[in-house]
């Protein structure tokens, strides 16, 4: 005997209706779960991308002072000897300005013959030229800045400086990185909140964050800065926030 024969036609119709209801309920539940999943997926897929900026002006902690000069003589040997004597005098003057001997790094001397470009006569005492100098590297930034203004001291001692070139550096970037990255991230979130408010959404969790390069420039410009004691440190971060 078949299983359906155990039930009356009325009972069979009721069971069929119940099965349809259960099937429909299952479709509704499945549809709800799918809709929820799609909604959550779209929620994760929607984000705001902004950039945060942080700038800070700091003082250089290292300085480099390049000094060079030349002397003239009748022979290459005399030119070399005269140059060495002048170099020792120049080093003594610089050390008297408050620097250490370990701060000085001598540069190679170059000795060459003077030639008159017009083919004219060159005085015997000026036939050979010795040229060179030294680089002073120190953490005494203020002392270098002040000493560079005293070129008359060298001139009074018979030393004619041909080149005086100073560069200032900031080398302790790691000490300010954490607070600058935080400031850049805070700036990015503020921009994201402004954008979200204008778009009628809310800023959610952080999705991704990318640190840009730190740049060092002059305080009032985006380039150069080698000759300025004060430096402008700048970093830009790219941040993505989910939206709600």
Distances (CA, A) of 197 to 76, 219, 244: 78, 34, 11
- Rounded to the nearest 10°, the torsion over CA 90, 96, 97, 100 is 90
pLDDT of residue 119: 67
Region of 168 on the Ramachandran plot (φ > 0 left; ψ -120 to 50 alpha; else beta):
beta
| Ranges of H-type helices in 66-129 | 76-95
Q: Which of 66, 78, 77, 89 is nearest to 159 (CA)?
A: 89
- Read off the pLDDT of residues 68-126 as tens digits, 9 standing for 90 and up: 999 999 999 999 999 999 999 999 999 999 999 999 999 999 999 988 777 677 788 88
Q: Which of 210, 164, 212, 206 is nearest to 189 (CA)?
A: 206
Residue for token pair 């009074």: 156
φ, ψ for residue 12 (rounded to 5)?
A: -65, -40
φ, ψ for residue 214 (rounded to 5)?
A: -80, 130
d(CA 113, CA 223): 40
Spell out the residues 6+ positions from residue 185 whose beta carbon is closer than 8 angstroms to its own.
52, 209, 237, 239
- Read off the pLDDT of residues 124-173 as tens digits, 9 standing for 90 and up: 888 999 999 999 999 999 999 999 888 889 989 989 899 999 999 999 99
d(CA 134, CA 129): 17
- Read off the pLDDT of residues 222-240 as tens digits, 9 standing for 90 and up: 777 788 999 999 999 999 9
Determine the length of the chain: 244
Q: pTM higher than 0.85, yes or no?
A: no
Q: Are strands 47-59 and 62-73 parallel, antiparallel or unpaired?
A: unpaired
pLDDT category of residue 28 using cuts at 50, 70 and 90: very low
166, 120 contact by CB (below 8 A): no
pLDDT category of residue 26 using cuts at 50, 70 and 90: very low
Q: Give DSSP secondary structure letters for 39-61.
A: HHHHHHH-EEEEEEEEEEEEE--
Spell out the residues 6+ positions from residue 190 whose beta carbon is closer than 8 angstroms to its own.
none
Distances (CA, A) of 52 to 87, 183, 191, 218: 51, 8, 8, 21
Q: Are strands 128-138 and 230-243 parallel, antiparallel or unpaired?
A: unpaired
């Amino acid at each position: 005997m078949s299983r359906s024969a155990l039930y009356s036609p009325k009972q069979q119709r009721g069971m069929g209706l119940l099965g349809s209801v259960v099937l429909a309920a299952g479709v509704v539940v499945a549809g709800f779960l799918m809709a929820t999943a799609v909604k959550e997926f779209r929620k994760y897929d929607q984000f705001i991308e902004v950039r945060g900026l942080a700038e800070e002006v700091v003082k250089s902690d290292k300085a480099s002072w390049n000094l060079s000069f030349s002397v003239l003589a009748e022979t290459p040997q005399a030119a070399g000897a005269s140059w060495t004597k002048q170099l020792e005098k120049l080093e003594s003057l610089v050390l008297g300005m408050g620097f250490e001997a370990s701060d000085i790094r001598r540069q190679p001397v170059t000795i060459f013959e003077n030639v008159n470009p017009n083919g004219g006569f060159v005085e015997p005492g000026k036939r050979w030229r010795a040229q060179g100098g030294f680089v002073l590297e120190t953490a005494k930034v203020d002392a270098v800045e002040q000493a560079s203004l005293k070129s008359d001291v060298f001139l009074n001692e018979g030393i004619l400086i041909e080149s005086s070139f100073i560069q200032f550096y900031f080398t302790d970037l790691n000490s300010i990185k954490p607070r600058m990255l935080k400031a850049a991230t805070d700036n990015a979130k503020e921009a994201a909140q402004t954008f979200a408010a204008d778009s009628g959404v809310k800023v959610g969790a952080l999705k991704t964050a990318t640190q840009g390069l730190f740049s060092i420039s002059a305080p009032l410009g985006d380039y150069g800065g080698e000759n300025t004691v004060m430096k402008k440190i700048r970093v830009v971060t790219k941040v993505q926030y989910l939206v709600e």
